[in-house]
Chains A and B, each alone.
Chain A
Amino acid sequence: MSNTEMTNTENNPVLSIENYSLDYETANGPFHALKTIDLSINRGEILGLVGESGSGKTSLAWSIMRYLPKNAREPGGRILLGGDNLLDKSERQMEAIRGRRISMVFQDPSTSLNPTLSLGTQLAEVLMRHRGLSRQQAWKEGEERLAHVGLKTPAQMMHRMPHEASGGEKQRVVIASAFACNPECIIFDEPTTALDVITSRQILDLFVELQAETGVASLYISHDLALVARTAGRVAVIKRGDIVEQGTVREIFTNPQQDYTRELINAVPDPAHRLVKDDVAVTDKPLVKVENVSVHFGRKSFLAALTGKKTERVTGNNAISLSVNPGEILGIVGESGSGKSTLAKAMTGLNRFEGKIWFDGREIRNLGDMDNAYRKDVQIIFQHPDASLNPRQKIFEILSRPLKLFGDGSDLEKQVGDMLEQVRLPRTHANRYPHQLSGGEKQRVAIARAFASKPKLVICDEITSALDVSVQASVVELLLDLQKASGTAYLFITHDLNLIRQIAHRIAVMYRGDLIEVVKAEEIDSPDRADYTRRLIEAVPRAAAQFQ
């Protein structure tokens, strides 16, 4: 079916990759990053390229841009842009092609823009370089371009520095400069991953709009199947450098041919499919009660204290009150900077706070009240397992510390082994260093460490967001099994609304340090919800629902 479609739209694809392979020379012999890739994108088409981290998505993008590291080798194949083989081009010829005929939008706008140049200078530079405009012409054209990508005050925006614009505004500028020379093909490398839910929805809408208007051939790289389903017409699934399956979005979702594709689709969280039973008794005596907890950042400077000058402090949390029942999973959602992690840090004694925390009937007013017993009962798991496990300690040492602090500390070898088995890792992993484990395995070790002291409350701070979808699904499954076995309550912080709707009993929504509301998970999409909650729910793509 896809063949007939292709011939109908246009005979010559804008970008076609034929039989292309890429190797990296490493100390341990060549590493095959891409294996005989065949892809083509027609005018006006969006091709989604989906794969997990390390699958070679970004390598492919850089091969097309002809910007490869020195140890890259290309055993064969062709990359044709409008019929010209890019592999034959010299570096100088490529410089004229990049930005003019093919351009790229990166993941994080805060790193892809130069922080020392104004946004206007960076946009005008592209226009001057590739369209031969004078400075004034380029500046004027730049303003028009910015207005075109939906920025309200383009003239002022041109003069602003990158740090004076929000993430969404910066990404709009990047998109404007990618479209600036009307290229034939644009590569989008996870353009919304670094943005907030609502902002990324707006950027996505803008992208679809511009794409339809200009008819540029787009390669949309993402790890998020749900996102690709919203934008792309065709999808290619890549696994370890191999394109395993290609087809229209509908084909891929309704009738996947490969096991790997099926796995990927099943791993995408679907809020309609709840993973927990709603059997938590709401009691008068919750396990934790957070009462009017506020967190402020910044310390009074010595000079200000002397002169009695008032200092403006940044508010991280603004009088938050919520409670967690024994054995309950309470989800906390919100955009970045909404104070989710700040609250978690206050509850584990990493931030000073004002207000009260009641834990198991005990009152905690400040960090000094958090004694050994409290720390034993409240454990935290962090987002990045790379950062939360000390790279210079073996797994055995990492896991034996909580046993020594909170447990009996006898027969550590057996206990550490048991802990590893509990999180479904082999006992022999105790002798390894963190860098010898995969991301998912590392997060399992972090989970094992949190459960070592048999806590009553575990705070999970975005623990799945650094992991691939399939790994994420298995980590969530492990957490739910542990919860069933131990009856531990979770405070589950995430920005993934689909996931939290699957696993939480209640969901707390936060916005800019304030708690908006706490609602039952199955009632979060009811129309009675607060305005912000409704916008959040609307912004999240739901892949499966689209095709059922």
Chain B
Amino acid sequence: MTEFLKRLLKTPQGAIGTFLVVLVLAIVVFGPMLAPYDPEKLSPLARYKGPSLMYWLGTDQYGRDIFSRLLIGARATVVMAVLATIAGTLIGALIGTASAFLGGRADELIMRTIDAVMSIPSLLFALLVVNLLGSSTVNALVAVAIAFAPGMARITRSVALSVRKQDYVNAAIARGESSAYIIRREMLPNVIAPIIVEMTIRVSFAVMLFATLSFLGLGAQPPAAEWGLMVSEARRYMHMSAGILIWPSVAIAIVAVGFNLLGDGLRDALNPRT
């Protein structure tokens, strides 16, 4: 484990990615404790303030402290993105591995269905799901998870296909193991490494997808401090103070870049040949 960390931190992508992700996770955990103000406390006299010693990142159109709102909103934004990615990955990995194991007609049927689903852009697909289920945070999570599953299934299948040809899977079939055991114990542990890499990269997509959904008014609802929602609300007051729009966007960008770099670093660290 320590050796693995060493390998991860050796590459610049891995080191920067790890640093950013740890920073974001620290804000998720300790953010509400550190926030200097109540994020929903309006102060009509201190609207559109620029950064100052009192309000580090300034205030928004209702005079709420942007820094506090970002610290508290991290939980809603990042945790949701991570949960949605994990859910989507699990569904996709199971479908992909099962499809590779079954092979033949069943594989064909599953993969063509997935192709059909994948032909719809993931944002459009998520919008569709949210529209059908109604707009709420949980439904947005379900939508993103479902939108991610087909892509993960594809990636998992291609890895699982090469694992399927390995003799330890043949050995398991020859001794009469059940399909469920072979998929779960023999194949899944061996396809996990590329899936983890892909998952980290997808977390950043999820953050952006959530932000987009909230921006369109289909995710978190005001006055929640979700970052995408903050950008959306700030849009109309942009000409009064650019900071309202810029700071939440920067926060989203940092999370996206952090997870992306971590994914790159993990890819190198998990591959012993580099």
Contacts and interface: CB of A to CB of B under 8 A. Distances in A.
Interface of A: 299, 345, 348-350, 370, 372, 375, 379-380, 382-384, 387-393, 401-402, 405-406, 449, 453
A392 B175 contact: no
Interface in B169-185: 170-177, 185
B190 A380 contact: no
B104 A299 contact: yes
Closest 10 A/B residue pairs (Cβ): A388-B167, A392-B189, A382-B167, A387-B167, A375-B176, A348-B174, A390-B168, A387-B166, A380-B174, A388-B168
Contact of B176 (A382, A390, A405): A405
Contacts of B174: 348-350, 375, 379-380
B186 interface: yes
Contacts of A393: 185, 189
19 contacts: A345-B170, A349-B173, A370-B176, A372-B176, A375-B176, A379-B174, A380-B171, A380-B174, A382-B171, A383-B167, A388-B170, A389-B168, A390-B189, A401-B172, A401-B175, A401-B177, A405-B176, A406-B175, A449-B171
The winner among A372, A387, A391 for most chain B CB atoms within 10 A is A387
A187 B189 CA distance: 42
A387 B166 CA distance: 6
Contacts of B168: 387-390
Contacts of B185: 393
A345 B170 CA distance: 9
A389 B171 CA distance: 9
Interface in B208-266: none
Contacts of A392: 189-190
Nearest to A461: B167
A383 B174 CA distance: 15
A38 B153 CA distance: 56
Contacts of B175: 375, 379, 401-402, 405-406, 453
A390 B173 CA distance: 13
Contacts of A350: 170, 173-174
A299 B176 CA distance: 24
Contact of A382 (B104, B170, B177, B186): B170
A384 B167 CA distance: 8
A287 to B, nearest CB: 18
Contacts of A401: 172, 175, 177
Contacts, number: 52
Given A370-B176, A401-B177, 20 more contacts: A345-B170, A348-B174, A349-B174, A350-B173, A375-B174, A379-B175, A380-B174, A384-B167, A387-B167, A388-B171, A390-B168, A390-B186, A390-B189, A390-B190, A391-B190, A393-B185, A401-B175, A405-B176, A449-B171, A453-B175
Contacts of B171: 380, 382, 388, 449
Interface of B: 104, 166-168, 170-177, 185-186, 189-190
Nearest to B172: A401
A401 B172 CA distance: 9
A388 B172 CA distance: 9
A350 B166 CA distance: 12
A375 B175 CA distance: 6
A288 to B, nearest CB: 15
Contacts of B177: 401, 405
B60 to A, nearest CB: 50
Contacts of B170: 345, 350, 380, 382, 388
A451 to B, nearest CB: 12
Contacts of A389: 168
Contacts of B189: 390, 392-393
Contacts of A349: 173-174, 176
A361 B190 CA distance: 40
Nearest to B108: A302
Contacts of A348: 174
B273 to A, nearest CB: 12
A389 B173 CA distance: 13
A299 B105 CA distance: 10
Nearest to B171: A388
A387 B164 CA distance: 11
Contacts of A402: 175
A406 B174 CA distance: 13
A388 B170 CA distance: 8
Contacts of B104: 299
A402 B173 CA distance: 12
A372 B176 CA distance: 7
Nearest to A375: B176
A384 B177 CA distance: 21
Contacts of B176: 349, 370, 372, 375, 405
A366 B189 CA distance: 31
B219 to A, nearest CB: 38
Contacts of A370: 176
A390 B181 CA distance: 13
The winner among B166, B177, B186 for most chain A CB atoms within 10 A is B166
Contacts of B186: 390
A382 B176 CA distance: 16
A384 B175 CA distance: 18
B127 to A, nearest CB: 35
A320 B28 CA distance: 67
The winner among B170, B171, B172 for most chain A CB atoms within 10 A is B171
A345 B174 CA distance: 9
A545 B177 CA distance: 48
Nearest to A391: B190
A370 B175 CA distance: 10
A383 B170 CA distance: 12
B86 to A, nearest CB: 20
A401 B169 CA distance: 13
Contacts of A405: 175-177
A370 B173 CA distance: 11
B196 to A, nearest CB: 13
Nearest to B193: A392
Nearest to A453: B175
Contacts of A383: 167
A349 B170 CA distance: 9
Contacts of B167: 382-384, 387-388
A277 to B, nearest CB: 30
B97 to A, nearest CB: 14
Nearest to B173: A350
A221 B176 CA distance: 43
A26 B198 CA distance: 29
Nearest to B166: A387
Contacts of A375: 174-176
